[in-house]
């Protein structure tokens, strides 16, 4: 299995393009899996400034086909031509897949370096993919490793103690441009009930803000305020709440964008200064809102420009942790890929042994002496397999597993195929059964003759004399 990722973020495309690509994001994994055999697993990570798809393909030969299938699916939902979709994404394979995701989860690739909200979004992306059945084993391990790495970066570097986020920087900007930086006396209207709205509510309460009205076009405001506080506002009461607001924050990404004329209408006759914070990727407010008198508009672009530079030593330390974690993950992936070759070699050697033992039994019948020969041969097999097994692990760590499998095919004619999924109720795995058989031939304690009679001789290894 081979991992790949398609990445479109604030770093390589404009946010408007990211928003357009994200249309239909929840459906991309299941549709790609259903329509194309080259995709064996997919997870989508969609946030306010990134749209990334992580996928697993059966082999290196399937990577390009998997990418094409994903691009085609995104094009279908977004309405963007496939060529333009393809050009919008950077493609990662190999260790670069893990290194990028680990950096993202640790907040090193965010508009606000070191932000912690993204770690939760990485976890939720995996949970959603698992819920839909789109997450393959390799992707589960990848995202779990990303979450672990994010915790290590937070615990071992100064980035974790800063507590900065897109929301916190946006609120700091709003405080700086307001006549009064004290949030305890401000009236706020919050659009949206999703993850960013929840983070915004928590940040406002941390700053002492208590007058918070919440509006949701989907009707989820009551449930939102029931657990987080604030007051739910119906559509009929929204103009009044907007008129008395000091700050309006958009986190919904709704198709019903509020334009400058809407703001002018609800604020007619008022000279109260207003700060509008638009944190939605697809914009809750038309950019023309920022041209109105007594209205200041803060967008994701504003946040990115105002985000403070983090200390170079903290960033360097975090980068080292991410790179080491990615290297370790890739080594583990290579080792897993080598397991099929090891199992194939063991099964091949075991088959030769079984054939030889059948020949011995046919010549000598059921005797303890034949059983002693079997134990000797099994010891020989273990010794023969020891060095090739160790060498397989070493080559996997060096990323040279293909050399090993090619050697098996050239020397022994062994065709190494990926291991089949193991049934939960099976008494032993293929590898486990073979390995245990090489240690103690428990399945042959009693030998059955061709005529169906069971040999009465106990074929356990005879006790050695003192």
**What are the binding residues?**
47-50, 110, 115-117, 121, 192-197
CA 123, 9, 65, 127: dihedral to nearest 10 degrees?
10
Nearest Cα to 154, choosing from 201, 188, 106? 106
Q: Are 23 and 281 in contact (CB under 8 A)?
A: no
Instruction: Name the maximum alpha-carbon separation found in the chain.
Output: 109
* SS3 state of residue 273: coil
Q: Select from 124, 60, 143, 129 the least CA-distant residue to 94.
A: 60
Phi, psi of 278, rounded to the nearest 5 degrees:
-110, 100
Nearest by Cα to 43 from 148, 147, 114, 116: 147
Compute the distance between CA of residue 343 and CA of residue 432 in angstroms, rounded to an integer. Answer: 9
- Which residues carry a binding-site annotation for NADP(+)? 192-197
Sheet holding 50-57, edge to edge: 41-47, 50-57, 2-9, 90-93
Q: Is 403 exposed, middle or buried (0-12, 13-18, 19+ CB in 10 A)?
A: exposed
Catalytically active residues are 48
Reduce the DSSP state of residue 309 to 3 states and report it: coil
Q: Which of 449, 193, 131, 149 is nearest to 322 (CA)?
A: 149
Please give the backbone phi and psi of residue 441, each rounded to the nearest 5 degrees, phi first: -75, 65
Query: Within 13 Å and on the Cβ side, how many CA atoms surround 63?
Result: 14
């Amino acid at each position: 299995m081979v991992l790949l990722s398609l990445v479109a973020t604030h770093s390589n495309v404009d946010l408007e393009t990211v928003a357009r690509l994200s249309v239909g994001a929840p459906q991309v994994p299941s549709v790609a899996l259903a329509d194309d055999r080259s995709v064996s697993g997919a997870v989508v990570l969609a946030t306010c400034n990134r749209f990334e798809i992580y996928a697993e393909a059966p082999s290196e030969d399937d990577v390009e086909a998997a990418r094409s299938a994903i691009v085609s699916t995104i094009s279908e939902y977004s309405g963007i031509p496939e060529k333009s979709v393809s050009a919008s994404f950077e493609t990662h394979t190999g260790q670069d897949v893990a290194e990028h995701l680990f950096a993202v989860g640790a907040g090193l690739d965010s508009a606000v370096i070191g932000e912690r909200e993204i770690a939760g979004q990485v976890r939720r992306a995996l949970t959603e993919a698992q819920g839909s059945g789109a997450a393959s084993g390799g992707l589960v391990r990848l995202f779990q490793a990303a979450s672990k790495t994010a915790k290590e970066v937070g615990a071992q570097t100064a980035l974790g103690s800063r507590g900065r986020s897109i929301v916190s920087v946006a609120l700091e900007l709003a405080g700086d441009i307001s006549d009064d930086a004290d949030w305890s006396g401000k009236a706020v209207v919050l659009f949206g009930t999703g993850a960013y709205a929840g983070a915004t509510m928590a940040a406002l309460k941390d700053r002492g803000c208590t007058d918070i009205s919440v509006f949701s076009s989907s009707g989820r405001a009551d449930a939102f305020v029931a657990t987080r506080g604030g007051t739910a506002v119906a559509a009929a009461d929204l103009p009044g709440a907007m008129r008395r607001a000091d700050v309006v924050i958009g986190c919904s990404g709704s198709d019903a964008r509020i334009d400058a004329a809407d703001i002018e209408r609800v604020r007619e006759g008022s000279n109260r200064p207003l700060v509008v914070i638009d944190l939605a990727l697809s914009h809750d407010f038309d950019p023309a809102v920022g041209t109105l008198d007594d209205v200041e508009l803060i967008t994701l672009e504003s946040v990115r420009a105002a985000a403070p530079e983090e200390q170079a030593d903290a960033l360097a330390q975090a980068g080292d942790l991410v790179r080491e974690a990615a290297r370790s993950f890739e080594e583990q992936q290579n080792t897993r890929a080598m397991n099929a070759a090891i199992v194939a070699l063991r099964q091949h050697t075991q088959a030769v042994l079984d054939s030889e033992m059948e020949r011995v039994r046919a010549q000598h019948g059921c005797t303890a002496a034949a059983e002693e020969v079997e134990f000797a041969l099994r010891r020989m097999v273990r010794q023969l397999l020891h060095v090739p097994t160790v060498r397989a692990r070493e080559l996997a760590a060096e990323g040279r597993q293909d050399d090993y499998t090619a050697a098996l095919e050239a020397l022994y004619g062994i065709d190494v195929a990926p291991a089949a999924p193991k049934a939960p109720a099976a008494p032993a795995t293929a590898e486990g059964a073979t390995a245990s058989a090489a240690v103690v031939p428990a399945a042959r304690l009693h030998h059955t003759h061709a005529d169906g009679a069971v040999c009465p001789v106990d074929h356990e290894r005879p006790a050695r004399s003192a």
